[in-house]
């Protein structure tokens, strides 16, 4: 978002001498939050965790106290929850997020950002922090509440420790997914001055691999390696490696592979933004 949309005013007070990225991230998040479109989109994606919460209540109501947790939740159900939250966060970034850098490029407000003491690292970290905050409010916070609710129903179960570990792994996986999507959106937004093109590119990144995967699944058997070609499949493989362990992974695929691919994509997002900034004049 351009600074002109944040009601920018001249400031004559004390100047902060430390890192400025938290200020950039928090101020831009508040600017996004002022839009009704942001609020409505976040409230809409909260409906899915509420549905899961109702299922948790139904699960607890149908179980006898002595049998609570007898079967234990498999990692596949929680992995599915993370996948649905991934698409929910993608929707939030379509509503507010894809223009996080392209708006600055289009309106020419980067010179204001890069006035001292703000440097390139502050700008990149601040923009990334904004997207992470959107992810925390949209999908991570409800996931924490849902994990606490489900764990509470297993307090008297013999599998309480397993439940707690499984939900903690789910939160770790969701945090990784937020970082992945935020970095990809950040890099994509830095490649164009038009937010509309960034939105179309983001939709293509999400949808096209799924269509190709669906067509290939009908035509022939799909190798697990093909899941690495989509963000959804990549997060799913990471969930299998993290929560399911070696038994859930293909024998010929090391468990480190999906995490290495996620790290490479996060690095690519920051590299794209750094490349864009390096081609602007008077940016340090």
Domain ranges of the chain: 19-60+72-278
Q: Locate tokens 């106290």: which residue?
A: 65
Q: What is the pTM of this model?
A: 0.85
Contact status, residue 272 vs residue 201, Cβ threshold 8 Å: no
Q: Regarding predicted confidence, which is higher, 18 or 131?
A: 131
Q: How many helices (H) and strands (E) does the chain have?
A: 12, 0
pLDDT band at 270 (very low <50, low <70, confident <90, very high): very high
Q: Tell me, what's the pLDDT at 269?
A: 95
Distance CA(278)–CA(125), nearest Å, equals 16
Summarised one tens digit per residue, pLDDT across range 168-216 is 999 999 999 999 999 999 999 999 888 889 999 999 998 887 776 666 5
pLDDT band at 5 (very low <50, low <70, confident <90, very high): low
Summarised one tens digit per residue, pLDDT across range 54-86 is 877 776 666 554 444 434 455 677 888 888 899
HSE on the CB side for 66, CA within 13 Å? 0
Q: Locate tokens 């002109």: which residue?
A: 4
CA 276 to chain centre: 22
């Amino acid at each position: 978002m351009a600074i002109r949309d944040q009601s920018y005013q001249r400031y004559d007070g004390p100047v902060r001498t430390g890192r400025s990225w938290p200020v950039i991230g928090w101020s831009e998040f508040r600017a996004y939050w002022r839009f009704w479109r942001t609020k409505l989109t976040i409230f809409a994606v909260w409906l899915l965790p509420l549905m899961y919460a109702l299922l948790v209540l139904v699960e607890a109501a149908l179980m006898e106290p002595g049998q609570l947790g007898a079967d234990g939740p498999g990692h596949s159900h929680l992995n599915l929850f993370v996948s649905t939250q991934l698409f929910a966060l993608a929707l939030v970034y379509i509503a507010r997020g894809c223009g996080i850098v392209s708006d600055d490029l289009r309106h020419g407000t980067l010179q204001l950002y890069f006035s001292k003491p703000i440097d390139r690292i502050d700008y990149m970290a601040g923009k990334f922090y904004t997207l992470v905050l959107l992810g925390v409010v949209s999908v991570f916070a409800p996931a924490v509440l849902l994990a606490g609710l489900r764990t509470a129903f297993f307090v008297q179960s013999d599998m309480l420790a397993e439940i707690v570990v499984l939900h903690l792994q789910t939160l770790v996986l969701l945090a990784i997914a937020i970082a992945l999507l935020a970095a990809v959106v950040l890099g994509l937004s830095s490649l164009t001055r038009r937010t509309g093109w960034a939105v179309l590119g983001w939709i293509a990144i999400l949808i096209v691999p799924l269509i190709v995967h669906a067509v290939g699944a009908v035509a022939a058997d799909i190798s697990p390696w093909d899941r690495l070609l989509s963000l959804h499949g990549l997060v799913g493989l990471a969930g299998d490696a993290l929560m399911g362990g070696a038994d859930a992974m293909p024998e010929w695929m090391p468990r480190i592979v999906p995490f290495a691919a996620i790290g490479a994509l996060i690095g690519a997002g920051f590299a794209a933004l750094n490349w864009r900034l390096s081609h602007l004049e008077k940016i340090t």
